[in-house]
Structure 1
Amino acid sequence: MAYAAAAALAGCAAPSQAGAGRPAGGCPTPGITEDEVRLGMLLPDSGNAESLFSPFRAGVDARLGVANAAGGVHGRQVRYDWEDDGSEPERNLVGAGALVNRPVFAILESTSVASGSAAFLHSQGIPVLGTSLEDPWTRYDNMFSYSNLLGHTGAVSTYGDFVVEHGGQRAVMVVTQFSRTSQDFAEVLTASLRARGIPVVATVDATAPVNFGALGRQIKESGADVMVGAVTGGAFGQAVLAALGAQANLKVILSPTGYDQRLLDTFKQIIAGVYLVVDFTPFEADRPAHKGFLTAMARYAPETRPANQQAALSGWISADMLLRGLQAAGTCPTREGFIKALRAVRGYTADGLLPQPIDFRADFGKLTRCLSFVQVAPDGKRFDLVDPLPRCGEEVPR
């Protein structure tokens, strides 16, 4: 019902911004005018995923700011309207319908509920670029991400390889029962560990509010020497605190989320020694592209502090991919032409921010095998690189 309503809105309601749909001379593509490319953005500005994804917008602002200051793309400034999906699939679909109706040329998206609008946006032929945390990103050819951590089948051994190398033998998995993404990610992590002979002997729930005593006892009584998280960095930090309070004998503590200075500021030495995983080259590598990102953030998104946040860099890379596609699509881009042009791009690294080059056609639908690991320093004030950088595993059954 919601899908049909959004489709109807996209087909017959009037644009909400004067001039937004005025076609350029000889270029009647929705969202393209003589002097502007109008985009949409979907992200949670409220709900339980807000803190995880909200910095994405700042990264987009920084990358588009740099591009527009240099003259835009083919002489057009690139701007966007945005909708809050409230961390809910239904609101994600409604927001997508509103953006398509304005109209917009493409959509930038960072959320855990992209599945709400994925089928609708695919049916409309709308390019979507952003953060992939659900399987639609590996199924619909209009959706582009620089990394796929979740897919409808399979997993990668990278997590399990790391845990084995660091002496882990039995794992406890931390999830939140109200997040489908958390549950799916736990399945991927479990498959990775199992493929390397590490059983997940217990699953514990870190949904707020956390009962630290009960959670700590569950972790300790599991007999696990490895704790792996499929939750936000803040929730995982609370699980670490609970485990320490119960004196659980953990040898390896690993989280695919939480690479953020704010996590260190909150938990400090409590999370010393914790390993975190990122799907890009960590800031501690200090590449020229990192410096460019931080300079742009200071100029175009100064309100975002600290600037070196994972979600903000995701926004920067997603916007960079979009700009690359617009450039390749020519002076009168169509949505179909954009998708075709970006799929043809090979060797994409976001100027060195990605650990491995991407072939947008050959790599479509594949899970990311090469990941970077960092460790919280003993004083809890910084992240240290864990060599080698990156580590590349292999596909394993899920």
Structure 2
Amino acid sequence: MLFPVNRRLTRTVTLAASASSLAVSLVACGGGGASGVGGACSTTVPGITPTEVKAGMVWSDTGPGAATMRSFRAGVDARFHVANEEDGGVYGRKVTYAWRDDQADQQLNLSAVQELLDQEKIFGLIYAPGAGTQSAKLLQERSVPVTGIASDPVWLGMNNMFSWFYLGNGSSTTTGRYVRDQGGTRAAVFAVDAIASSGDFAQQTAASLKANDVRVVKTFYIGEITSWQTVAQQIKANGIDALAGVLMPAGAAELLPELAKIGVTLGDGLKVALMPLGYDNSNLTQLGRALAGVSIFTDIQPFELDTADQRKFKQAMSDFAPEIQPPTQDAAADGWISADLFLRGLEAAGTCPTRESFITGLRAVRDYDGAGMTPDASNDLSTNFRQTSTCYSAIKISKDGSRFEPTSSTATCGDVITPEQMAALNQRS
């Protein structure tokens, strides 16, 4: 799962997919999404021409999180290339996009979206993780279709915004159930005090743990940590046997060796250390030994399952985004699924798509397969936007730190914890 980051406007490019090579006549209206009656499709729909659908994307080309976001964009590029060059587009139209780099700046996120809508005249938006609250409201007001990973709670309940995963305002029992199943009973939760959304995630984690009778003994704020040795000593002194929350790979790689020095090893005194991200082979190369035995939750199926759909993704990344190495990164898969979801919406909108027909058609899909790459193989888009997602894939780093090992071939799921229930749980000591 990716955490919300925010962006700032800098420059525009378009996807390198030329529509000039496409010899297609103006399609006749028919089926869902028709804008006229017995004639040509309307020419007034933003971003729609006889040969092209122009989408938009806001992401961080520079600033915090830029490296991860490049992988996301590459996943989008690869999926659109497959659609355009191998599948002939959608109803004969190639899908391209204009983009803006917001440099992870929340204040100018809205400006980036406004420029894409008003100057670029985009049809819909693919959102890299971290949709800003104000821009999301604008997109809803204008009924602009949006696809992406809903890593910001603002997505919840937005009829025009589509995802296979919703962080939401509440929580789920999934994290706590996993920690409990691993033997954890006394947990430390990590939070980033300088980022409100990370604090929210820490609260979600704490509620999930408490719902499964795992006591939250201590909360550590990353911004206040000056010595991982001191943290290790406090963990041992408090009899903590589980770590969760915003525990990132770099921090875990410093903490776990310090714990081992004082006799607290993962799989023995420490039952589980759960990270919210880190499913990236570069972490194995750089930090693998230090992270041996750590668990990771992700919103995609483990690549180690090597399914036909995953092989298609890897081949496309090799063909169209070879700069991303290795291609098996969760951010790249998130981009691929986000683009696939946009294409599915265009199919549902019919031969003469409008924003309204896209939203209505895609919201009626009850069995979206997530491009064969999501934990849930049948996502009900008619209802999933109303509540926090509860299914993840759980992965462990092997004991020698050299590889990822799925804990199961099926998703790890739980039950929804409402915001009211979360508040009540977090009032417990």
- What's the counterpart of residue 382 of structure 2? 361
- What's the counterpart of residue 278 of structure 1? 298
1:115 to 125, 133, 147: 133
2:405 to 365, 384, 389: 384
Q: Say whether the 8 Å CA contact 2:340–2:371 is kept in structure 1.
A: no
Q: What is the alpha-carbon distance in structure 2 between the residues aligned to residue 125 and residue 239 of structure 1?
A: 47
Q: Are residues 1:84 and 2:101 paired?
A: yes
Equivalence map 1:186-265=2 (5 Å): 186-207=202-223, 211-244=227-260, 247-248=263-264, 249-265=269-285
Q: Say whether the 8 Å CA contact 2:191–2:199 is kept in structure 1.
A: yes
Q: Say whether the 8 Å CA contact 1:84–1:92 is kept in structure 2.
A: no
1:373 to 394, 398, 409: 394
- What's the counterpart of residue 393 of structure 1? 414
Cα pair distance change 1:212/1:245, threshold 3 Å: farther
* TM-score normalised by structure 2 residue count: 0.82
User: Secondary structure, in 3 states, of the residue corresponding to 1:201?
Assistant: strand
- What's the counterpart of residue 136 of structure 1? 154
1:109 is matched by which residue type in structure 2? Answer: Y
Q: What is the alpha-carbon distance in structure 1 between the residues aligned to residue 72 and residue 349 of structure 2?
A: 25
2:62 to 36, 43, 46: 46
Alpha-carbon offset, residue 279 of structure 1: 1.8
Cα pair distance change 1:388/1:300, threshold 3 Å: closer
1:106 to 100, 124, 131: 124
Q: Are residues 1:178 and 2:198 paired?
A: no
1:200 is matched by which residue type in structure 2? Answer: V
CA-to-aligned-CA distance 1:305-324 (integer Å, 9 cap, x gap): 01000000000001001001
Q: Say whether the 8 Å CA contact 1:38–1:104 is kept in structure 2.
A: yes
The range that moved more, 157-166 or 45-54, is: 45-54
Equivalence map 1:139-178=2 (5 Å): 139-148=157-166, 150-152=167-169, 154-178=170-194
Q: What is the alpha-carbon distance in structure 2 between the residues aligned to residue 237 and residue 141 of structure 1?
A: 40
Q: Any runs of at least 4 consecutive aligned residues in structure 1 with deviations exceeding 6 A, and if so which? A: none
Cα pair distance change 1:159/1:299, threshold 3 Å: same
User: Secondary structure, in 3 states, of the residue corresponding to 2:57?
Assistant: strand
CA-to-aligned-CA distance 1:299-357 (integer Å, 9 cap, x gap): 11000001000000000001001001001101221111111110011111124212321
- Give structure 1 stretches of 5+ with no counterpart: 1-14
1:93 to 91, 100, 110: 110
Alpha-carbon offset, residue 206 of structure 1: 2.5
Cα pair distance change 1:318/1:216, threshold 3 Å: same
The range that moved more, 234-243 or 58-67, is: 234-243
Cα pair distance change 1:64/1:353, threshold 3 Å: same
CA-to-aligned-CA distance 1:164-199 (integer Å, 9 cap, x gap): 111101111112222222111111111110001112
Cα pair distance change 1:71/1:123, threshold 3 Å: same
Q: What is the alpha-carbon distance in structure 2 between the residues aligned to residue 144 and residue 73 of structure 1?
A: 19
Q: Say whether the 8 Å CA contact 2:217–2:240 is kept in structure 1.
A: yes
Greater RCO, CA 8 A, separation 6+: 2
1:281 is matched by which residue type in structure 2? Answer: Q
- What's the counterpart of residue 425 of structure 2? none
- CA RMSD in angstroms, aligned pairs only: 2.4
CA-to-aligned-CA distance 1:192-248 (integer Å, 9 cap, x gap): 100011121111123499643344344444431101132544444444455445654
Q: What is the alpha-carbon distance in structure 1 between the residues aligned to residue 247 and residue 168 of structure 2?
A: 17
Q: Say whether the 8 Å CA contact 1:229–1:236 is kept in structure 2.
A: no
CA-to-aligned-CA distance 1:69-120 (integer Å, 9 cap, x gap): 0211111111111112222221211111111111111111122353242112
Q: Are residues 1:34 and 2:50 paired?
A: yes
The range that moved more, 113-122 or 340-349, is: 113-122
Q: Say whether the 8 Å CA contact 2:50–2:93 is kept in structure 1.
A: yes
User: Secondary structure, in 3 states, of the residue corresponding to 2:386?
Assistant: coil
Cα pair distance change 1:129/1:113, threshold 3 Å: closer
User: Secondary structure, in 3 states, of the residue corresponding to 1:55?
Assistant: helix
The range that moved more, 214-223 or 36-45, is: 214-223
- What's the counterpart of residue 145 of structure 2? 127
Aligned length: 378
Percent identical: 37
User: Secondary structure, in 3 states, of the residue corresponding to 1:389?
Assistant: coil
Q: What is the alpha-carbon distance in structure 1 between the residues aligned to residue 312 and residue 195 of structure 2?
A: 35
- What's the counterpart of residue 82 of structure 2? 66
Alpha-carbon offset, residue 64 of structure 1: 0.2
